Structure 1
Amino acid sequence: MDFFDKLGEAARSLTEKAGDSLEINRLNGEIAIEKGNIQCYQRELGEYYWAKFAVGEKLDEEAMLICDKVVNSQDRIRQYMFDIEKVKKEREAVLDERVKAKALEDEITEQSEDETVQDKAEAVFSENHEKATEWPQFCPNCGGGVKAGQRFCMFCGAEIKG
């Protein structure tokens, strides 16, 4: 039975430790809540004194130094916000330049493609024109096309008088 007694004692010990741990966690939670309350109260106190400072009331020297620190921080925040806007505008300008450059590049590419198409059309026209000038005459016998300077029709063999 000694084994079972030890086992029961270990189980009771673990249960008590778990219970103690839960209670400690609950109390730590309450401490955290109270610390949060203290921060809220301190914030309220700071807002109270800040309101007095904002309307021009004279505070004790320590409070005035703290208020001056707040004012300096606010000034730095305004400067940082100005710097952020400046960075954004510079970035927008760079992006606008890229967009314009891309549009110009696309326009040049399109013109180049148009010129290529025009060159091809001119080449086809020239080729067709050359063919048209190669066959300016027709055979009086069969009506087939005859090249300039050709003496006989290649379709019917009739003599071409020119």
Structure 2
Amino acid sequence: MRSDATQPENTQGDGEANAAWEQQLRTALELIAARLGARRGLQRAEVRTLLLPLGALLADHTSPAGAAWVQRIEQRLAKDGAQFRAVVESELQLAAAEYVQGVDPRYLGLPGYDFEYTLGSREGLEARRLAAEALSVRLPDATLKQIELADQRLEAELERRGPQAPSDGERSAR
């Protein structure tokens, strides 16, 4: 199972998870602002370190922190918004392609198919999508449709395999 910012190391409580995500956001925003200020190009990996924890905060509908961070990010990166948004779009497209291609029916039926990786990929994609949409970057409708179809294929395969395949509940409990 891969580790991403949607699952911080310290997950004993929502407050602690939110604090971990906010620390990740502070670090990522400083790095991105410094690179843009120095007129250095952004990398997708740098933007990813911001999108994943932001998406996790936005997914926690009980906390207002996500919306506050969106505003802080927009203010801090306003003058370089076009470059930032272009890299966000690239990262989002890459995450979508990874997930959609990973749920190709030719692979789903293989005995060693890595459901943990696929479910992690989907969780990361959703966190990126939530964050990107909050920052006014949307996936094209055609890509959203591909994701929807991939979700349907994955769900059908999980149902077909029955209890031996990991469920969302089992993944969340880990």
TM-score bin (small chain): under 0.3
Q: Which has the larger radius of gyration?
A: 1
TM-score, structure 2 as length reference: 0.22
TM-score, structure 1 as length reference: 0.24
Higher relative contact order (CA 8 A, sep 6+): 2
